[in-house]
Amino acid sequence: MSYEFLVGLRYTRSKRRAQGRNRFISFISLVSMLGIALGVAALIVVLSVMNGFQRELRTRILGVASHVQVSGFDGELGNWQRVADDAAKHPRVKAVAPFVQAQGMLSFDQTVRGTLIRGVLPDAEDKVADFSQHMRAGKLEDLQAGGFGVVLGADLARALRVSMGEKVTLIAPQGLVTPAAILPRLKQFRVVGIFEVGMFEYDSSLALIHLQDAQTLYRMEDRVSGVRLKLDDLFAAPRVARELMQYVDADTLISDWTRSHANFFRAVQIEKNVMFIILLLIVAVAAFNIVSTLVMAVQDKQADIAILRTLGASPGSIMKIFVIQGALIGFIGLAIGVLGGVTLALNIDVVVPAIERAFGIQFLAKDVYYISDLPSELLWSDVITITAVSFVLTLVATLYPSWRASRLNPAEALRYE
């Protein structure tokens, strides 16, 4: 190995017989390592938890919403079969399902709730959404044409105090015009299922009925509100939505899940970015502790530096010695932090319950939060980014003390030796 690396490694290692200033410098080096390790581990764990929340939010939203939605500008799509066939020609479209969406009111035992009514074909809907995985009672296939059955969200069913098999009255805003007055359209539906996806927006206001029943109730004949599409890659939805303009008629409105639920994902992404910056400051503080370590090391090793210079060492070699010393401190701390952070992020579903049992606390109460467990999704791209940024901060922290060491005058350093 080069003598610069050998000397830098020797300065980094603590000596058992080190006394006074040398022992204090070794202690400061150890504190710097632990600070970098703690900051890097915390950064990896927090970003993994944020990724987990983002995944849970995405899964729950897409359990009800579609990847891409094609609808008419006036809320109705007359030629939906042709639109569905044209959209299915796109290589990334895996499933297509028509739907009718309208407003309504559900009434049961003098209790009334505003509701979003969605008419679906059970077999087709099951291919673009995950309702079957979130059914708490009944099955989506129990919706039969002409049977006037309804599947309610869990919170909506609780608000109406209705259970399986009971009949609720659906009030449509389209009224019947009579000589006396305009009467609302009423129809009784039997509850054949209850679902719970874990999103209050859907669990408290969404009701599913058969597509033909919705067309009959809202006088849409064979028209629908739009067509829902499922893709082979949900992250390709924005690009596929743009490309679908070449496949379907120009008088349709195409939107994807990133636009229809942009606020949710934008909020999570902003929080993730802010947490990255805040926790990176912890790593920066620990990294710049290396500055004080190297400054004291330079002061302590002035005689050594002067002797090396008189033996022919160049200023660049002296600077390299202390850069290596600081880089080794940062690298060791970084390695410990990455190892600890990755281990904790991969086992957070075991560690957090153990802490809750040990201290008798609960971080996410089930009666308050829909997501009662801390989810974690480790992305190696995040680990690589954290490692690279932290190591750069460590190298930057070594530059000034190393530069000072390289500028040391040998004659001045050896004057009083």
Token pair listed for 360: 């008798």
Q: Is 305 exposed, middle or buried (0-12, 13-18, 19+ CB in 10 A)?
A: buried
In a domain, 257, yes or no: no
- Sign of the C-alpha dihedral, residues 122, 128, 166, 175? negative
Q: Which residue has the tokens 């909020």?
A: 267
Same domain, 151 and 221: yes
Residues near 187 by beta carbon (within 8 Å), at least 6 away in sequence: 148, 169, 170, 172, 217
Domain end: 190, 215, 250, which one?
250
Same domain, 229 and 356: no
Question: What average pLDDT does the chain have?
Answer: 81
Q: For 344-360, write each residue's pLDDT tens digit.
A: 988 888 887 788 778 87
In a domain, 67, yes or no: no
Nearest alpha carbon to residue 373 among 363, 387, 383: 363
What average pLDDT does this structure show over 56-66?
Answer: 76
Same domain, 197 and 145: yes
Same domain, 332 and 240: no
Instruction: Check residue 168 and give its pLDDT.
Output: 92
Q: For 82-137, write each residue's pLDDT tens digit.
A: 888 888 888 888 889 999 988 888 998 888 888 999 999 988 888 888 888 888 88
Same domain, 323 and 201: no
How far is residue 46's CA from residue 43's CA, in Å, rounded to a whole number?
5
Nearest alpha carbon to residue 12 among 263, 377, 380, 333: 333
In this structure, the chain runs to a length of 417
Question: Is a pLDDT exceeding 60 seen at residue 181?
Answer: no
In a domain, 65, yes or no: no
In a domain, 107, yes or no: yes
Same domain, 85 and 230: yes
Domain end: 228, 250, 272, which one?
250
Instruction: Check residue 151 and give its pLDDT.
Output: 92
How far is residue 150's CA from residue 140's CA, in Å, rounded to a whole number?
9
Domain end: 250, 278, 305, which one?
250
Same domain, 7 and 146: no
Q: What pLDDT band is residue 191 in, cutting at 50, 70 and 90?
A: very high
Q: Is 132 exposed, middle or buried (0-12, 13-18, 19+ CB in 10 A)?
A: middle
Cα–chain center distance at 15: 46
Same domain, 174 and 275: no
**Which region among 4-18, 101-115, 136-150, 367-381 has the lowest average model confidence (pLDDT)?**
4-18
Question: Is a pLDDT exceeding 60 seen at residue 228?
Answer: yes
Same domain, 125 and 219: yes
Question: Is a pLDDT exceeding 80 seen at residue 214?
Answer: yes
Instruction: Check residue 11 and give its pLDDT.
Output: 67
Rank 9-18, 147-156, 295-304 by mean pLDDT and report only the highest.
Answer: 147-156
Do residues 395 and 388 lie in contact, with contact meaning Cβ atoms separated by under 8 Å? no
Residues near 120 by beta carbon (within 8 Å), at least 6 away in sequence: 97, 99, 100, 143, 208, 209, 210, 211
Count H helices and E strands in the chain, helices first: 15, 10
Q: What pLDDT band is residue 189 in, cutting at 50, 70 and 90?
A: very high
Q: What pLDDT band is residue 370 in, cutting at 50, 70 and 90?
A: low
In a domain, 117, yes or no: yes
Phi, psi of 138 (to 5 degrees): 75, -175
- Total domains in the chain come to 2
Same domain, 178 and 323: no
How far is residue 40's CA from residue 389's CA, in Å, rounded to a whole number?
10
| 55 compared with 210, residue with greater pLDDT | 210
185 forms bridges with which residues in the sheet? 172
| 364 compared with 206, residue with greater pLDDT | 206
CB atoms within 10 A of CB 112: 13
Residue-range definition of the domain harbouring residue 270 = 3-60+264-414
In a domain, 66, yes or no: no
Q: What pLDDT band is residue 23 in, cutting at 50, 70 and 90?
A: low
SS3 call for 372: coil
How far is residue 46's CA from residue 280's CA, in Å, rounded to a whole number?
11
Same domain, 176 and 119: yes
DSSP of 212-264: HHHHHHTT-TT-BSEEEEEES-GGGHHHHHHHGGGTS-TTEEEEEHHHHTHHH
Phi, psi of 139 (to 5 degrees): -135, 150
Q: Taking the C-alpha atoms of 17, 20, 26 and 29 in order, what is their torsion angle to the nearest 10 degrees?
A: 180
Amino acid at 73: F
SS3 call for 181: coil
Residues near 53 by beta carbon (within 8 Å), at least 6 away in sequence: 268, 371, 375
Instruction: Check residue 16 and give its pLDDT.
Output: 44
Nearest alpha carbon to residue 47 among 410, 283, 381, 292: 381
